[in-house]
Amino acid sequence: MPIDPSLCPAIFGVFGKTLTDRERAFFQEVKPFGFILFARNIGDPDQVRALTESLKPLAAANPCPILIDQEGGRVARLRPPHWPDYPRGVVFGRLFDLDPAEAKRAIYLNSRLIAADLHDLGITVDCLPVLDVPARGGHDVIGDRAYARHADTVAQLGREACAGLIDGGVLPVIKHIPGHGRAAADTHVELPTVTTKAATLRRTDFAPFKALRDAPFAMTAHVIYADLDPDFPATTSRTVIDGVIRKTIGFDGALMSDDLNMQALSGTLAERAFASQQAGCDLALHCNGEYDDMVAVASGLEHASPATLRRLTRAMSWLAAPKPFDREAGVWERDALLARVGGG
């Protein structure tokens, strides 16, 4: 899976449903690792396929990493009438309480169905599963996106969600490492501080990520963990990335920041990009597609380190052709399983 070593270690959004000449020229010049799509980029299937085809030759990685947030529930960029609605994460946790084996089968099928949709459009990476463990007082920005309030349940369901995506030719991103469930604020708007002791975090919040530490990609949390680093959120904390994500959790895959445009982070976009890279993020994620913002992010980044290139190459090596799958039968079986808890 070749990756141009002179790449810009970033994932960028695009502004609309087609590339502009200015965007194309910028991407050709900086060679980003990949791209991410949002609802503003989505029309009908033919339009999305045309957009992904236009992006493929502009990425530094081949095959091109094209990301999307297709979780189900309220976080879904592909929606009816062209694509089905998918269940909220919490539904699988409810089924797990009744029958763990059925829940794991249901979430595997659900992710396999999502992967079928994405692969058909040329989308190669899904920002799923959510491994955050909600806690009392946590903001609803996670809420029903989370599978359960028990770390082991989250880990088991997350493992099956990853398997369904991978079998469908799509790579998973575990998020939001090392855990967003206790954050009492929405990081799109402000920076939350978690004061829970590190020993408790290791037993609970960090545990699902440790269980899935072999995943190809992970996305950071813009959250301060005061007992670990009282000054910087995980995304820009060398202490958290080195000491917790890489060592305690043991994740050695490709680590991307959450969106640098979120207001939990301070400083200019160039400063945010630089800080995330210096802290240990392999990739800077910038989502809004604003041209001047992307130029600023690129200006703050240095060339990828040999360790980053190794992790990116290894992450993309997971990508394979989809295994045979009967989509109609998959829908029927998943829906029959979820009927026990009222569907999605």
CA distances from 178 to 20, 58, 181, 202, 271 (A): 37, 31, 10, 9, 22
Question: Which residues contact residue 192 at a Cβ distance below 8 angstroms, ignoring those fewer than 6 apart?
Answer: 139, 183, 184, 185, 223, 224, 264
Question: Which residues contact residue 158 at a Cβ distance below 8 angstroms, ignoring those fewer than 6 apart?
Answer: 129, 130, 131, 147, 174, 208, 211, 212
Catalytic residue among 69, 117, 258, 293: 258
User: In the annotation, is 4 catalytic?
Assistant: no
CA distance 124 to 121: 9
User: In the annotation, is 176 catalytic?
Assistant: no
User: Token pair 């880990």 is at which residue?
Assistant: 155
CA distance 287 to 282: 16
Note if the bond before 188 is cis, omega within 30 degrees: no
Cβ proximity of 249 and 241 under 8 Å:
no
Catalytic residue among 44, 97, 99, 188: 188
Query: The tokens of 89 are what?
Result: 């994460």
Strands 70-72 and 75-76 turn out to be antiparallel
Catalytic residues, which ones? 188, 258
